[in-house]
């Protein structure tokens, strides 16, 4: 499968909100409510932030929210904080027990 499409970078300032998009196809994002989002700081393993499109694991701040419309999923971070500066990856179930990641988005300028 082809990787999901994410913007290479987004910028924000402390206190603002940003949205990262993740565009797939009708064979992955559009067909399943199984999009997840991961945060990765340099040199660290990724961390699950959103699963099943909009659900937050225990311990993840409610400043993080997810949604989906058609073939595009989105991650919104409100009330930006310095520690939110990281890379963000979306991932979708693509059928037949397979998954596909997005190319990643660097959130910077915080």
Partner 1 sequence: QVQLVQSGAEVKKPGASVKVSCKASGYTFTSYGISWVRQAPGQGLEWMGWISAYNGNTNYAQKLQGRVTMTTDTSTSTAYMELRSLRSDDTAVYYCARLVVGAIDYWGQGTLVTVSS
At residue 83, φ and ψ (nearest 5 deg) are -75, -5
Provide the pairing of β-strand 47-50 with 72-77.
unpaired
- Give the separation between CA 18 and CA 94, rounded to whole angstroms: 26
| Under rule CB under 8 A, residue 66 binds partner 1 | no
Which of 57, 69, 79, 109 touches partner 1 (CB under 8 A)? 57
Which of 10, 47, 60, 67 touches partner 1 (CB under 8 A)? 47
| Under rule CB under 8 A, residue 52 binds partner 1 | yes
At residue 109, φ and ψ (nearest 5 deg) are 70, 20
Closest to 22 in 3D by CA, of 106, 93, 89: 89
Which of 9, 103, 108, 109 touches partner 1 (CB under 8 A)? 103
Binding site for partner 1 (CB under 8 A): 1, 3, 32-36, 38, 40, 45-48, 51-52, 57, 89, 91, 93, 96-104
């Amino acid at each position: 499968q082809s990787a999901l499409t994410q913007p290479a970078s987004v910028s924000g300032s402390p206190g603002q909100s940003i949205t990262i998009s993740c565009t797939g196809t009708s064979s992955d994002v559009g067909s399943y409510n199984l999009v997840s989002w991961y945060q990765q700081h340099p040199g660290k393993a990724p961390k699950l932030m959103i699963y099943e499109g909009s659900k937050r694991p225990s311990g993840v701040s409610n400043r993080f929210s997810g949604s989906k419309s058609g073939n595009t999923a989105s991650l919104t971070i409100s009330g930006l904080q310095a520690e939110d500066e990281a890379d963000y990856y979306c991932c979708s179930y693509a059928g037949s027990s397979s998954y596909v990641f997005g190319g990643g988005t660097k959130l910077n300028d915080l």
